[in-house]
């Protein structure tokens, strides 16, 4: 990777990390989900980046893929277990990172939060070029099991390429699922989910995240500006300020893919932790570490 290109990935990582911390700080009782998502994305834009995908504000037994729609009026409540999963990109250089907070600062779900964080750190500790992906998966699974909890087996981390959030290689959260190895210079997201449920998610209701399946082309010229803007990256109707534009996109079903919310199959609570990592010859460069004094 060219030095300037690498700097873009690093900068996207810093911005995403700052946005994640901001989201976690502001996830307080009484704050609207929509307000929180908007603030995170406004922060990303204020730093000169774009959201890589709509901020996921999934709660409790929702594991992932919920983002508020423009009319959302739900506010966070004391005791909600909230996953703040955010992404930033600079000219397609992407960062994807998540953390879990218990709204109101209680400690009821501390074991879930810790299991996800320790799973993530255990996974990162295995990263270097040539290592089987299964070593990472095994480390994650072991760390989560030590808390008497389960990793979610059908959600995985993933390789990332320019403008491609899920570039093809999966990083499972349980052992025995991958025969691949890590390549030097590769960018991956590692994202363990820990649950007190059955360790699996199912598709729930529509989660308000959209993506263009294909270029609408001349037959739907009114959609072109939106396609130009979002390309292959997921987006939300919240990004479109004008009501008429939202209506156009809402009606354009055949060009769009929509994502369901992932809900834990046993209605268990779910915690998630995620970092974007660059694979080095002899280790890992974590691009989304918590910013702050050295």
Half-sphere exposure of 266 (CA within 13 A, CB side): 13
The interface mask with Mn ion, positions 172-191, x = CB under 5 A, is -----------------x-x
Q: Mutual orientation of helices 133-145 and 110-125 as an angle, nearest 10°?
A: 150
Shortest reach from residue 232's CB to Mn ion, in Å? 15
Residues marked active site are found at 85, 96, 158, 166, 191, 274
Which 8-state DSSP code applies to residue 32?
B
Shortest reach from residue 60's CB to Mn ion, in Å? 18
Q: State how far the alpha carbon of 249 is from the alpha carbons of 53, 113, 228, in Å.
A: 17, 37, 13
Write down how long the chain is: 294
Shortest reach from residue 282's CB to Mn ion, in Å? 25
Q: State how far the alpha carbon of 286 is from the alpha carbons of 56, 60, 128, 131, 189, in Å.
A: 21, 27, 12, 17, 10
The torsion defined by the Cα of 267, 271, 276 and 280, in degrees rounded to 10, comes to -110
Shortest reach from residue 251's CB to Mn ion, in Å? 29
Q: Residues 233 to 292: which contact Mn ion by CB under 5 A?
A: 274
Closer of 90 and 171 to Mn ion (Cβ): 171
Closer of 120 and 122 to Mn ion (Cβ): 120
Closer of 11 and 187 to Mn ion (Cβ): 187
- 9 vs 93: CA distance, rounded Å: 5
Degrees, nearest 5: CA angle 23-26-28: 125
Shortest reach from residue 276's CB to Mn ion, in Å? 8
Q: Is 126 in the site for Mn ion (CB under 5 A)?
A: no
Closer of 186 and 191 to Mn ion (Cβ): 191
Closest CA to 89 of 170, 10, 3, 183: 10
User: Which one among 18, 62, 80, 85 touches Mn ion, defined by CB under 5 A?
Assistant: 85
Closer of 195 and 246 to Mn ion (Cβ): 195
Closer of 44 and 98 to Mn ion (Cβ): 98
Residues contacting 229, CB < 8 A, separation 6+: 235
Shortest reach from residue 117's CB to Mn ion, in Å? 15
Q: Residues 187 to 216: which contact Mn ion by CB under 5 A?
A: 189, 191
Tell me, by CB under 5 A, how many residues bind Mn ion: 6
- Evaluate whether 271 touches 143 at the Cβ level (below 8 Å): no
Q: Is 96 in the site for Mn ion (CB under 5 A)?
A: yes
283-286 and 150-151 beta bridge pairing:
unpaired
Q: Contact positions toward Mn ion, by CB under 5 A?
A: 85, 96, 98, 189, 191, 274
């Amino acid at each position: 990777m060219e030095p300037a290109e690498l700097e873009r990935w690093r900068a996207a990582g810093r911005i995403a990390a700052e946005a994640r911390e901001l989201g976690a700080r502001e996830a307080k009782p009484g704050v609207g989900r929509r307000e929180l998502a908007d603030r995170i994305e406004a922060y990303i834009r204020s730093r000169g980046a774009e959201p890589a995908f709509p901020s996921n504000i999934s709660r409790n037994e929702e594991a992932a893929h919920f983002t508020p729609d423009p009319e959302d009026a739900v506010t966070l409540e004391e005791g909600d277990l909230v996953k703040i999963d955010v992404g930033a990109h600079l000219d397609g250089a992407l960062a994807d990172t998540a953390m879990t907070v218990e709204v109101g600062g209680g400690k009821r779900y501390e074991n879930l939060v810790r299991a996800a964080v320790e799973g993530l750190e255990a996974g990162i500790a295995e990263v270097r070029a040539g290592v089987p992906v299964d070593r990472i998966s095994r480390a994650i699974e072991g760390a989560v099991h030590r808390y008497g909890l389960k990793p979610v087996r059908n959600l995985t981390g993933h390789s990332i390429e320019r403008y491609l959030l899920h570039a093809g290689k999966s990083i499972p959260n349980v052992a025995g699922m991958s025969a691949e190895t890590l390549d030097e210079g590769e960018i991956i997201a590692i994202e363990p989910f820990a649950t007190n449920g059955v360790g699996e998610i199912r598709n729930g209701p529509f989660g308000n995240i959209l993506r263009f399946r294909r270029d609408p082309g001349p037959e739907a010229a009114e959609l072109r500006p939106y396609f130009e803007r979002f390309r292959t990256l997921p987006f939300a109707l919240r990004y479109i300020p004008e009501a008429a534009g939202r209506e156009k996109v809402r009606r354009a079903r055949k060009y769009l893919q929509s994502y369901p919310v992932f809900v834990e199959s046993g209605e268990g609570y779910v915690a998630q932790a995620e970092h974007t990592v660059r694979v080095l010859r002899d280790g890992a460069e974590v691009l989304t570490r918590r910013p702050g004094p050295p």
